[in-house]
Amino acid sequence: MAEFVTVARADEKTVGEMRAFDVRGTRIAVANENGTFYAFDDACTHLQCSLAEGNLEETTVICPCHGAEFDVTSGAVLQGPARGPLATYETRVEGGALEVEG
């Protein structure tokens, strides 16, 4: 069973649209799409730019360096230049805390 790690209070202010957290040594980005949280590797699979520094358009995250696009719900590549999908992680909110599978 997946273990969860608390990363932040689950509110707009602490997460904003996107923010990266260290979860047991891995940089994991959390996207907040209208109150639903999606977690995925922060490093773009193309050249490892931080996706949390990019843009979130609905459930699409766009790399700030080279424009690769991923579906945050599945990690699938929607647009190159990235080739490989992103790893995604479960999230849950427990007692006001945002937890990410770690």
In the complex with other proteins, the residue whose CB is nearer, 67 or 85, is: 67
Q: What is the C-alpha to C-alpha distance for residues 29 and 41, in angstroms, rounded to an integer?
A: 6
Residue 49 phi/psi, 5-degree rounding, is -65, 155
Number of residues that bind other proteins (CB under 8 A): 14
State the nearest-atom distance from the C-beta of 56 to other proteins, in Å. Answer: 10
Residue 60, classed as helix, strand or coil, is: strand
- In the complex, least distance from residue 12 CB atom to other proteins, rounded to whole angstroms: 15
- Angstrom CA distances, 69 to 2, 36, 59, 64, stand at 27, 19, 10, 10
Interior CA angle at 37 toward 31 and 40, to 5°?
55
User: Is residue 78 within the footprint of other proteins (CB under 8 A)?
Assistant: no
Build a one-symbol-per-residue string for 20-49: x at contacts with other proteins by CB under 8 A, - elsewhere.
Answer: ---------------------------x-x
User: If binding is defined by CB under 8 A, does position 85 make contact with other proteins?
Assistant: no
Footprint of other proteins (CB under 8 A): 47, 49, 53-55, 62-67, 80-81, 83
